[in-house]
Amino acid sequence: MSERDASKEASQSFRVPGMGSIDTTRTITFTFDGRIYEGHPGDTLASALLANGVRLVGRSFKYHRPRGILSAGSEEPNALVELRTGNRREPNTKATTVELYDGLEASSQNRWPSLAFDVLSINQLAGSVLSAGFYYKTFMWPAAFWEKLYEPVIRRAAGLGRAASEADPDSYDKVTAHCDVLVIGGGPAGLAAALSAASAGARVIIADENPELGGRCLAEKRTIDEMPSAVWAKHAQEKLRSTNEVRVLTRTTVFGVYDGRTYGALERVSDHLPVPPQHQPRQRLWRIIAKRVVLASGATERPMVFGENDRPGVMLAGAVRTYINRFGVVPGRHAAVFANNDDAITTIADIQRAGAEVVAYVDSRKELSPAVLAVLSEAGVDAILGGHVESTTGTRHITGATVRTADGEIRNLPCDLIAMSGGWNPNLQLATHLNARPHWNETIAAFVPSALPPGMAVAGAANGLLTLAEALASGAQLGIEAAHEAGRPAVEARSYSTTPEASSIAPLWRVPETKGKAFVDFQHDVTTDDVVLAHREGFAAVEHLKRYTTLGMGTDQGKTSNVNALAIMAALTESTIPAVGTTTARPPYTPVAIGALGGAHRGRDFKPERLPPSYKWAREQGAVFTQAGLWLRPQYFPRPGERDWQETVFREVDTTRNAVGICDVSTLGKIDVQGRDAIKFLESIYINNWGSLAVGRARYGVMLREDGMVLDDGTTARLGEHHFLMTTTTGNAAKVLQHLEFCRQCLWPDLDVQLAPVTDQWAQFSMAGPKSRDLLRKIVDSEFDISDAAFPYMAAGEVAICGGLKARLFRLSFSGERAYEIAVPSRYGDALIRRLMTATEEFDGTAYGTEAMGVMRIEKGHLGAAEMNGTTTAYDLGLGRMMSDRKDFIGRTLGSRSGLMDPDRPRLVGLRPINPKHKISAGAHLLPQKAHRTAANDEGHVTSAAFSPILGHTIALGLLKRGPERVGEIVGVCDPVRGRDILAKVVSPEFFDPSGEKLRG
């Protein structure tokens, strides 16, 4: 037997045999703070801890006060634990929502050194100093101490639990679903609504955050149609599960309402298991698009605000009933009940039935209805009417309640449990997610939904209908209506019989005289004094109150605190509650794991990979790849014996310049342009003329944005009278298509022109270098004449290769050499690259990657993305002369604004270092040679740079103020972030073959 087993508790002494609806025949074990306990399947961690008599579960955020379990649901502010361990550790997990599984491990958090003895609980001694917002008033002197001293101390104390320190090992799914009627909440109202809607034939989704449908049917001792409510709920759930077109989503929280009737929901698929089974996600994100919605999210009980009301052992009355009736756990042996409403009365009988004593029933109301009085008298409890619990006693657990009677007498009642009820707040958060304001209902002293998101109706307690009979009736009716509005036949709503219940309330927002701190927000330690202080300092608007005191900002999102605080503020400002403000909620209803929202998009699957047609072959060659947007492109092809990437790139450039090099250029954007007005369209898109372009020829073109800046460049070939193929740069393929479509659809809808993106349809390879035609001859079928006479520079046409495969051939060059590009349908790309590489062997050719391509394009002064950066005009880039003055084109008008015609604008130049050993890097700035290195003297920057193997030194392109006028001048190349400052000579951007002899052959 291990050491741990020795510490096993005398097990489950608070479990009441014969009560509750969970399976007590099986026993499972779990640990809390290292101690081993027993519980049953169906327990929550909270119910199992209570069954074992564990009351102290956590520590509060600011004062580190001992805290127990307040609630039995997702509104829990106190009982937060770190669940699981290692890379599955989940901080701030509400013990009240954790389903117990065998071997569960949980620990308390935000305490040091231990839960029972927490050093920072000393904070509460300084409570009046650490009042709301105290930190805004101090820690200001001296200024430098904030980052060095004050803030580090604050950050050490900050936070609740610890996030895992490794990657989340589990996976997450996403689903999109459509339905006629979405029912949110599976309590009595939701069940009635779903049954109704299903009976009308509607496609229904019903979602509930619990493992089973039933809601408070499972927690209360009530009858529906002569059945115990829990049994009725079980039958209802079975019926729904067996109905076609009804989807029951348990363990699923609808967390947000979005535009377009979209609802976000989180299904906790595997959180009730030790680890997700293989191939099963931990959680699933549902995007539900619902024609109609019945919101049946129930209500949340309000705490009473009295002195020391945060001690472990003070619990919501409804939660006490839940633990007794659903889990068969009695949370104390000697209970006081403190309430201001009739609903709490049933708690007495439940506690007594569980074999515990009710030491007193304290009600702030002086007068109760005869029916309620009869219940009290039947129960035989000491009823203190018109009285208040003022304070509690105890240290880590309550030992008694201090009660003031209506006569002012003080009575000390020994007890270990206070069941409190301040009334119920409808769970209307989802009704307010689209910014609708709720309405104050005096009768139930709570906000109810008013304006609603489109298609939503609210049933039962969520709409302020707090009795079971009302919940069932409203649910049944709204389910029918929702189905009908969604296009299903109208049917009659069925009715349900229930036992009568009383439900009156006289609100008590805070006990008038209290001793000790009276907490409004438990998690963030916001007390009535803090609300008073906020009021005193002018933070009376509800949002100011929340932000100043941090009320409602905790992981419970203020479910138990917001309305109480609002009411206290209303009393302070002597106005009504709705006048102080309403509480609208922001999504999510309960916190959602970031992993679930991210889904599968993480690690290598963050974004798809686009693979060029030669990818497989390039991998086999050992190519090194680089990211170009989503594309993976070969950067260079190292060969055995090459020392580094530079040597490889030199070889690739050298071979291309002297023999032949092959490069996959399939990633360039390709847009098929067809139609009788295609030429007119191109004339309006490009700055240069297109009318004279013959069929079978290609031309370089530049297009501008509407504001006159260069958008993209590329060649467009005329394949037929009304058929063009446009190429774009790799990076701008999508943007250019978008631009063209906008122009076609919005600016010139009358033009007869159609566009089709065909980038993925073609594998295209460039063959560059003096031997490129010889290489081409090896694969182009012999009947095609590719002599310079028949196929000159800028020719384009269809050929057949490799014995009959149709291909497109273009004579284009990016590298400045004689070059061709050949395109075949993508599926032949792999075969073609292999054929080409075999054919190239006799010429000692090479494949080259983006790095060599970059070198050669800079040598040639061709533009890249760094030059066409969205802030350069055609004039800036030396393309001014291309702009036709005989036509209008996109960008012409705005391009002629004075600011863009300013001769002082930086313009394209070439740069070479004065000392050939010096390196120029892109991103360096250009300043006059001897000028002081400040922004006032900044005259431009280096856009692209590379080492030119032919020239034996770095070459660069840059944008320099009045650049072309300054050729021959020496400028400073200033690169402080890389610690360099050198001199360079301004030269023409064409470093290699400026006359273009090599190009034309």
Partner 1 sequence: MTTNDRYSIFSILRQAWRGNTGWKPVWRDVAPKPAYDVVIVGGGGHGLATAYYLASQYGRRRIAVVEKGWIGSGNVGRNTTIIRSNYLLPGNVPFYELSMKLWEGLEQDINYNAMVSQRGVLNLYHSDAQRDAYARRGNAMRLHGVDAELLDAAKVRRLVPFLDFENARFPIRGGLLQRRGGTVRHDAVAWGYARAADRLGVDIIQNCEVIGIRVDGGRAMGLDTSRGYIGARQIGVSVAGSSSRVAAMAGLRLPIESHVLQAFVSEAVKPFVGGVVTFGAGHFYISQSDKGGLVFGGDIDGYNSYAQRGNLPVMEDVCEGGMALMPRLGRVRMLRQWGGLVDMSMDGSPIIDRTPVEGLYLNAGWCYGGFKATPAAGLCFAHLLSCDEPHDVARGYRLDRFATGHAIDEKGMGPYPNLH
The interface with partner 1 within residues 874-903 (CB under 8 A) comprises 894, 897-901
- Closer CB to partner 1, residue 136 or residue 748? 136
Shortest Cβ 133–partner 1 spacing (Å): 9
Least distance (Å) between residue 633 CB and partner 1: 11
Q: How far is the CB of 720 from partner 1 (least distance, A)?
A: 33
Give, as ranges, the residues between 574 and 593 that touch partner 1 (CB under 8 A).
Answer: 586-588, 591-593
Among 433, 771, 818, 912, interactor with partner 1 by CB under 8 A: 433
Contacts of 264 (CB under 8 A, 6+ apart): 254, 255, 256, 257, 258, 285, 286, 287, 288, 587, 588, 592
Residues in contact with partner 1, shown as a per-residue x/- string from 673 to 712 under the rule CB under 8 A:
--------------------------------xxxxx---
Stretch of residues binding partner 1 (CB under 8 A), selected from 331-339, 350-358, 722-730, 921-929? 921-929
Give 297-320 as a 3 state SS string: CCEEECCCCCECCCCCCEEEHHHH
Beta bridge partners of 896: none
Cβ–Cβ under 8 Å, residues 953 and 912: yes
Q: 716-740 burial, b for 16+ CB within 10 Å, e for fewer?
A: bbbbeebebbbbbbbbbbeebbebb
Q: In this complex, which beta carbon is closest to partner 1, that of residue 105 or of residue 817?
A: 105
* Footprint of partner 1 on 641-660 (CB under 8 A): none
Q: Is 913 in the site for partner 1 (CB under 8 A)?
A: no
Rounded least distance, CB 638 to partner 1, Å: 18
- Block residue for tokens 């342009």: 673
Helix (H, G, I), strand (E, B), or coil: what is residue 757?
A: strand
Cα 152–153–159 angle (5° rounding)? 90
7 within 8 A of 35, measured Cβ to Cβ: yes
Instruction: Find the part of the chain contacting partner 1 (CB under 8 A) among 3-11, 403-411, 532-540, 752-760.
Output: 532-540
User: Which residues, 541 to 560, sit near partner 1 by CB under 8 A?
Assistant: 541, 543-544, 547-548, 550, 553-555, 557
Q: How far is the CB of 644 from partner 1 (least distance, A)?
A: 16
- Contacts with partner 1 in 751-790 (CB under 8 A)? none
Distances in whole angstroms, Cα of residue 946 to Cα of each of 649, 911, 913, 916 = 11, 11, 12, 13
Distance CA 863, CA 25 (A): 77
**3 state SS of 440:** strand
Residue where the block lists tokens 């599955």: 88
> What DSSP state is assigned to residue 229?
H
Nearer to partner 1, 324 or 709 (CB): 709
Question: Closest CB to partner 1 among 701 and 895?
Answer: 895
Residues 6+ apart with CB under 8 A from 939: 906, 925, 926, 927, 928, 960, 961, 971
Q: Checking DSSP bridges between strand 80-83 and strand 104-108, what pairing results, if any?
A: antiparallel
Residue closer to partner 1 by CB (options 346, 391) is 391
Min dist CB 139 to partner 1, Å, is: 5
Residues 349-388 that bind partner 1 (CB under 8 A): none
Q: How far apart are CA 559 and CA 425, in angstroms?
A: 9
If the CB atoms of residues 606 and 748 are measured against partner 1, the closer one turns out to be 606
From the list 26, 241, 366, 601, which residue makes contact with partner 1 (rule: CB under 8 A)? 601
Residue 364 or 590 having the CB closest to partner 1: 590
Q: Does 528 bind partner 1 (CB under 8 A)?
A: no
Nearer to partner 1, 151 or 245 (CB): 151
Complex with partner 1: residue 605 or 760, whichever CB lies closer: 605
Cα(309)–Cα(564) distance, rounded to whole angstroms? Answer: 14
Q: Does residue 539 contact residue 131 with C-beta atoms inside 8 Å?
A: no
Does residue 866 bind partner 1 (CB under 8 A)? yes
The residue type at 3: E
Binding segment toward partner 1, per CB under 8 A, in 412-420, 505-513, 833-841, 969-977:
969-977
Rounded Cα gap, residues 650 and 656, in angstroms:
10
Phi, psi of 936 (to 5 degrees): -60, -25
Q: Could you say which residues in the range 931-950 bind partner 1, by CB under 8 A?
A: 933-935, 938, 941-942
Least distance in angstroms from the C-beta of 23 to partner 1: 28
CB closer to partner 1, 37 vs 548: 548
Query: What's the closest the beta carbon of residue 79 comes to partner 1, in angstroms?
Result: 14
Q: 545-556 b/e with 16+ CB inside 10 Å = b?
A: bbebbbbbbbbb
- Tell which residue, 502, 563, 572, has the closest CA to residue 540: 572
Q: Shortest distance, CB of residue 160 to partner 1, whole angstroms? A: 5
User: Between 544 and 966, whose beta carbon lies closer to partner 1?
Assistant: 544
Binding mask 611-630 toward partner 1 (x if CB under 8 A, else -) reads: ---------------xx---
User: What residues between 705 and 734 interact with partner 1 by CB under 8 A?
Assistant: 705-709
Which helix H or strand E contains 778, and what residues bound it?
helix 772-779
CB of 972 to partner 1, least distance (A): 11
* Amino acid present at 934: T
Of 602, 676, 777, 806, the one binding partner 1 by CB under 8 A: 602
By CB under 8 A, the count of residues binding partner 1 is 119
Among the listed residues 181, 567, 799, 974, the single contact to partner 1 using CB under 8 A: 974
User: What distance lies between CA 871 and its chain's CA centroid?
Assistant: 32
Nearer to partner 1 by Cβ, of 52 and 590: the residue is: 590
Q: Which is nearer to partner 1, 539 or 686 (CB)?
A: 539
For residue 539, state whether it binds partner 1 (rule: CB under 8 A). Answer: yes
CA distances from 905 to 459, 805, 879, 900, 975 (A): 67, 50, 14, 8, 21
Distance CA 791, CA 697 (A): 9
Residues contacting residue 987 through CB under 8 Å, at least 6 positions apart? 909, 910, 911, 912, 967, 968
Among 285, 531, 665, 909, binds partner 1 (CB under 8 A): 285
Site for partner 1 in 240-279 (CB under 8 A): 256, 258-260, 262, 264
Q: CB nearer to partner 1: give 627 or 929.
A: 627
- Contact between 604 and partner 1 by CB under 8 A: the answer reads yes
Pick 167 or 790: Cβ nearer partner 1 = 167
Closest approach of partner 1 to the CB of residue 864, in Å = 9
Q: Tell me which amino acid residue 350 is.
A: D
Q: Report in angstroms how near the CB of residue 681 gets to partner 1 at its nearest.
A: 21
Q: Are 819 and 863 within 8 A, CB to CB?
A: no
Closest to 850 in 3D by CA, of 678, 687, 624, 538: 624
Task: State which of positions 60-79 bind partner 1 (CB under 8 A).
Answer: 61
Question: What are the residue ranges of helices labelled H in 393-500?
Answer: 429-432, 468-485
Among 500, 603, 641, 803, binds partner 1 (CB under 8 A): 603
User: Shortest approach of partner 1 to residue 858 CB, angstroms?
Assistant: 13
Task: Kindly identify the residues of this chain, within the stretch 143-162, that bind partner 1 according to CB under 8 A.
Answer: 143, 146-147, 151, 154-156, 158-162
Beta strands in 736-826 (DSSP E): 754-757, 762-768, 796-801, 805-810, 819-825
Q: Tell which positions 100-139 bind partner 1, by CB under 8 A.
A: 128-129, 131, 134-139
Least distance to partner 1 from the beta carbon of 731, Å? 9
Instruction: Give the containing element (helix H, strand E) for 375.
Output: helix 370-379
Smallest separation, CB 267 to partner 1 (Å): 15
- 59 pairs with which residues across the strands? 66
Q: How many residues does the chain have?
A: 1001
